[in-house]
Amino acid sequence: MLLNDVSARRVVFVGGKGGVGKTSIASSLALARARQGARVLVVSTDPAHNLGHLWELAVGDDVTALWSASEAGHPDGRTRGGSADEPDDARAAGSNPDAGPRAGLVDGVEIDPARTVDEHLRAVRGTMQRLLPERLHRAAREHLESARDAPGTHESAVLERVAETLETGLDRYDLVVFDTAPSGHTLHLLAMPDRMTGWTETLLTNRDRSERYAVAYGALGGTKDTSDRDAELRRVLLKRRARFALMRDAITDPERTGFVLVTVAEPMPIAESRDVAAQLDALGVGLLGVVANRLSPADLLSARREREDEQLASLDLGAPITRVELIGLPALRRLADALAAG
Ligand SMILES: Nc1ncnc2c1ncn2[C@@H]1O[C@H](COP(=O)(O)OP(=O)(O)OP(=O)(O)O)[C@@H](O)[C@H]1O
Ligand SMILES: [Mg+2]
């Protein structure tokens, strides 16, 4: 059963083509785990977020409480918003699976790359103004503004936040579920830590060299300013490197992490699912299972369902397929039931 495989993991990526049901499956997997007592964080990395829509709550770049089993007065244990930024003792206990009986919960966050880019640029601007002579400030500001829209800036910002959220998520939650952007984009993201680590390495090697020059210069009686600055930069880069290394290790460890591929049983999405599975394999990311979502109800649309089953029969990815029929509202609870029933 998919839920059992998910229960054994700390990190789950939910991916698939646009509109197939990624957010619904990510949320219902989170809910199903929370009902078992797990503390779960759902992270939306798709710039076109709809996590908040689904839960009928305002979710943003700060962690927001979506559901809690212990909340009194709500038959389904639901809370109405509230920031969960600062972990309390009970939440901190979530990182320790032996901490005794705990009430399950679901928190959510929608990663906002624009905010990350803004914060980053503001910090860099501050540093530049401190380090550069005044006459160069304007040119530096213009340079930074052009970086805001440069290709790759937003992707790097998303990746930075994914790595950051993964780090804190692994610390504070039993399970982190990533509700990702449509497939191509997600794989690109998963492939990037390697490239980012490579990039950080290059910078570090250069820094090592300049630090050596600076030390030599200092020994000759020069100012130590440059080497202090370089040491500071080096610390920042090392922290980044450690964070990306942690992310790469977590993502490619099949014991901890798995990918859930959501699809609908139509020729195009099925063909694309095969490609995605091959790419996951190449990246070393484990495919936990496939969810065939929005299947026609066998009793009402039997001919259509037969065609869909034929499509699914041709999809042999070596991972179990969970079948979910088209359901009405309230979608979340029933999806969670369907997943729990395998
Ligand atoms: N099994 C289902 N039965 C009926 N409706 C469903 C089912 N699964 C998802 N839906 C509906 O389909 C729509 C798309 O689902 P969802 O938002 O989860 O897809 P998505 O893959 O996250 O989309 P996007 O790529 O735009 O992020 C939503 O309106 C959702 O309520
Ligand atoms: Mg979605």
Domains of the chain: 2-112+167-340 (3.40.50.300)
Q: What is the pLDDT of residue 205?
A: 63
Residue 324: CB within 6 Å of ligand 1?
A: yes
Ligand 2 centre and the CA of 335: distance in Å? Answer: 15
Q: Is the pLDDT of residue 12 over 80?
A: yes
Burial (Cβ within 10 Å: 0-12, 13-18, ≥19) of residue 13? buried
What is the residue whose two structure tokens read 């901490």?
Answer: 99
Inter-CA distances, 265 with 11, 27, 299, 340, Å? 26, 21, 17, 21
> What atom of ligand 1 comes closest to residue 179's alpha carbon?
22
List Cβ neighbours of 164 (8 Å cut-off, separation of 6 or more): 243
pLDDT category at 24 given cuts 50, 70, 90 is: very high
Cα(112) to centroid(ligand 2), Å: 14
The Å distance, Cα 51 to ligand 2 centre, comes to 7
The C-alpha angle 307, 308, 314, rounded to 5 degrees, equals 95
CB of 159 within 6 A of ligand 1: the answer is no
Nearest to 309 by CA among 295, 320, 319, 322: 295
For the cut 80, the answer to whether the pLDDT of residue 233 exceeds it is no
> In this structure, are strands 105-110 and 64-68 parallel, antiparallel, or unpaired?
antiparallel
Instruction: Give tens-digit pLDDT for 28-58.
Output: 999 999 999 999 999 998 877 789 999 999 9
- Ligand 2 centre and the CA of 42: distance in Å? 12
**Better pLDDT: 338 or 100:** 338
Which atom of ligand 1 has the smallest separation from the CA of 46?
A: 27
pLDDT at 330 over 60: no
What is the per-residue pLDDT for 193? 72
**For range 247-271, the mean pLDDT:** 93
Give the whole-angstrom CA distance, residue 52 versus residue 179. Answer: 12
The answer to whether 250 and 256 are in contact (CB under 8 A) is yes
| Ligand 1 mutation pick, 13, 17, 23, 185, max ligand atoms within 8 A of CB | 23
CA dist 57 and 75 (Å) reads 18
Of all ligands present, the nearest one to the C-alpha of 329 is 1
89 and 99 in contact (C-beta within 8 Å)? Answer: no
Distance from the CA of 39 to the center of ligand 2, in angstroms? 21
